[in-house]
């Protein structure tokens, strides 16, 4: 069975992301998120359930940021795993990710 990324809806535009954000899962995650996020003007993504990532996962976060800005939506990431932070830092895109404290 292929891996999938799951979104736990916590209500009010808040979602917990679970699973591996990688080359094999980001397309499915993007498709699912577009449907889930469509009705919100503010979105908070809790990334504490992300088990692993690679550069494709970081690219997905940047894509979410881009789409949010385009639709004038406020987006924040919470509980960002160290692996994502490290990849964003070495890719010089850390400042692009709105990480809440």
Which structural domain range is residue 53 located in?
6-96
In a domain, 20, yes or no: yes
**Per-residue pLDDT tens digits for 35-86:** 999 999 999 999 999 999 999 999 999 999 999 999 999 999 999 999 999 9
Cβ-Cβ contacts under 8 Å for 19 (sequence gap 6 or more): 3, 4, 5, 6, 25, 29, 49, 50, 51
Q: What pLDDT is stored for residue 99 in this prediction?
A: 87
Q: What pLDDT is stored for residue 11 in this prediction?
A: 95
Q: What pLDDT is stored for residue 19 in this prediction?
A: 96
To which residue do tokens 């094999």 refer?
Answer: 24
The CATH number of whichever domain residue 71 belongs to comes to 3.30.750.24
Structurally, the chain folds into a number of domains equal to 1
Q: What pLDDT is stored for residue 30 in this prediction?
A: 97
Q: What is the pTM of this model?
A: 0.92
């Amino acid at each position: 069975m292929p891996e999938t990324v799951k979104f736990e809806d916590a209500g009010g535009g808040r979602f917990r992301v679970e699973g591996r954000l990688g080359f094999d899962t980001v397309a499915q995650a993007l498709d699912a998120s577009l449907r889930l996020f469509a009705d919100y003007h503010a979105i908070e993504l809790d990334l504490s359930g992300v088990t692993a990532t690679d550069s494709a996962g970081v690219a997905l976060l940047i894509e979410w940021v881009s789409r949010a800005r385009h639709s004038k939506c406020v987006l924040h990431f919470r509980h960002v795993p160290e692996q994502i932070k490290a990849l964003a830092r070495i890719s010089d895109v850390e400042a692009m990710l709105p990480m809440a404290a």
